[in-house]
Amino acid sequence: MTVINIAELIGTPNAIIQKFGLQVLEEAVKIIDSGNQVILDFSNLKNTTTGFFHASIGNLYKKYGEDFFQLVNVSSIDKKDDWKEKYEEAINLVKNPQQASEIDFAIAKLFE
């Protein structure tokens, strides 16, 4: 297994923008596609956002489906109470695209 220290990879302890999630996605895909499993290490992070989790975790689950759970492990995700919730939400929205559409619609309505 190859460890990705997220804070080191993105260069900040604040995983707060989608771009950072896409960096994690890109690095994890390289590792997985070379035949290895990956551990995403959250230990040095201070802040995360839903957008970060959707860009990284959600897209990894979308790419690998149920194999995701054998290919990707996480460490120190329980550091903050809401991180595990954001992680699970990112996966659930890929599993339930109708729910994702409903959320997008509701958000769009807020800005009308």
As a whole number, the mean pLDDT across the chain is: 92
The pLDDT confidence band at residue 104, using thresholds 50, 70 and 90, is: low
Provide mean pLDDT across the span 76-98: 90
Q: pLDDT (tens digit, 9 = 90+) per residue, 2-46?
A: 999 999 999 999 999 999 999 999 999 999 999 999 999 999 999
Residue 108 pLDDT: 77
User: CA-CA distances (angstroms) from residue 3 to 41, 100, 108?
Assistant: 7, 30, 38
Whole-angstrom distance, CA of residue 28 vs CA of residue 87: 16
Nearest-5° Cα angle at 49, 92 to 52: 70
Contact (CB, 8 A) for 95 and 65: no
Nearest-5° Cα angle at 22, 18 to 27: 150
> What ranges do the domains of the chain cover?
2-110
